[in-house]
Amino acid sequence: MTTTPRRALVTGGSGDIGSAIAHALAAQGHHVIVHANARLQRAEAVAAAIRAGGGSAEAVAFDVAAGASVAAALERLLEAGPIGIVVNNAGIHDDAPMAGMNDAQWHRVIDVSLHGFFHVTRPLLLPMSRQRWGRIVSVSSVAAVLGNRGQVNYAAAKAALHGATKSLAREMASRGISANVVAPGLVEGTMLGDQFDAAQVKALVPAGRAGTPAEVAAVVAFLCSDAAGYVNGQVIGVNGGMG
């Protein structure tokens, strides 16, 4: 897989999947901007590890749900040149059955995953258009496809990314810009945590195991490559056959 080195922003880049994506993009030769919300030191650690491995990276922190903060941060980043790749990976869980879900649980999950996608992606579109090249990848979840008890807010936020991405792909394809979704299933790491034991994973996943962050990152990296230019408006599951 060949691709031209570019600047790549990975939101939620300090988590398990986000850091794997950051490393995968750095391995393609991109300069990676590793984003965190409040824990800048975690993003700094990921960026430092990339640099230690011979890659190029920096860290940045802002709340993707706060439009004004995002706009100010991106304005500063764009002063150094266009950002050709954006991976909207930031997302949070705040699980509860809908009958017992409070307003804050609903709104914060929607704010981070859906409004964050809008706040981060919109300012990058015109600079991408001027370059006649861009890659937008949003990380969703199998919950957006199948649903999941206790995650009405999370499934709603992630499923909304599917429709938004398909529409955005139609708007931007003529300018050499693709927009796609990667929807992981059960993936090893802190987000999976201790929610499922080995027997539960085997029962839920036809492959009989949880995926790895690297397996998700490999698909994202392909979608961000020059070779994937004709893949557009797609929702690609990385879920071991769950659906």
**In CATH, which superfamily holds the domain spanning 7-238?**
NAD(P)-binding Rossmann-like Domain (3.40.50.720)
pLDDT recorded at residue 196: 77
Is the pLDDT confidence value at 92 over 90?
yes
pLDDT recorded at residue 23: 98
**DSSP H/E element including 156:** helix 152-172
Arithmetic mean of pLDDT, 87-113? 97
Beta bridge partners of 60: 35
Arithmetic mean of pLDDT, 107-124? 98
> Out of 62, 117, 133, 154, which one is annotated catalytic?
154
154 has catalytic annotation:
yes
Helix pair angle (116-131, 67-78), 10° resolution: 30
d(CA 59, CA 38): 12
Binned at pLDDT 50, 70 and 90, residue 4 comes out as confident
d(CA 9, CA 59): 10
82 and 3 in contact (C-beta within 8 Å)?
no
Domain ranges in the chain are 7-238
Arithmetic mean of pLDDT, 215-229? 98
pLDDT recorded at residue 2: 57
pLDDT digit string, tens, across residues 25-80? 999 999 999 999 989 999 999 999 999 999 999 999 999 999 999 999 999 999 99
